[in-house]
Amino acid sequence: MEGWKIVEIEWEELEKWAKEARKMAYAPYSKLQVGAALLAGDGQVFVGTNVENASYGLTLCAERVALGSAISKGARTFRAIAITGGPLLITPCGACRQVLAEFGLGLRIRCFDENGQKRDFVLEDLLPAAFLGNFLDRSSF
């Protein structure tokens, strides 16, 4: 995928990358393998897969793994993310919604399953009244 760039949001390509990422999931406890493909503002695509842990609270979701990969490569703006749970049509968990919100509530989200079901969202609709960094400006207190 190195060097891959998408100019417009090409959902079919993002879905393809998310499906591929899902194959690499480490999910020995829940058996729920999740893949995500995150489209950066410059057109680069970053993938992530869930990484479970015996201490469930330490599990990493596919969305946050993709975001971490993107941040480590210098990306700071994002346009879209495609997420698949294979046979399940899942949406990002609350923690992932909050972490993604750090980079913009306008993020477009497509959740899809292997049976052809798809649901599209804008992050702001999934996380209304989000807690954002501007709340931490103590000069306004």
Q: Is 141 part of a structural domain of the chain?
A: no
For 58: left if phi > 0, alpha if psi spans -120 to 50, otherwise beta; the answer is alpha
Active-site residues, by number, are 63
- The verdict on residue 4 lying in a domain is no
pTM for the full predicted model = 0.91
Residue 113 has pLDDT above 50, yes or no: yes
| CB-based burial, 102-126: b 16+ in 10 Å, e otherwise | ebebebbbbbbeeeeeeeebebeeb
Please indicate, yes or no, if residue 140 is contained in any of the structural domains.
Answer: no
Q: Is residue 134 part of a domain?
A: no
Grade residue 133 by pLDDT with cuts at 50, 70 and 90: confident
Give the CATH number of the domain where residue 33 resides: 3.40.140.10
Count of structural domains, the chain: 1
Residue 118 belongs to a domain: yes
What's the pLDDT at 137? 72
Query: Domain range for residue 101?
Result: 11-129
5 within domain boundaries = no
CB 132 within 8 A of CB 138: no
Q: Over the stretch 60-100, which tens digit does the pLDDT of each residue have?
A: 999 999 999 999 999 999 999 999 999 999 999 999 999 99
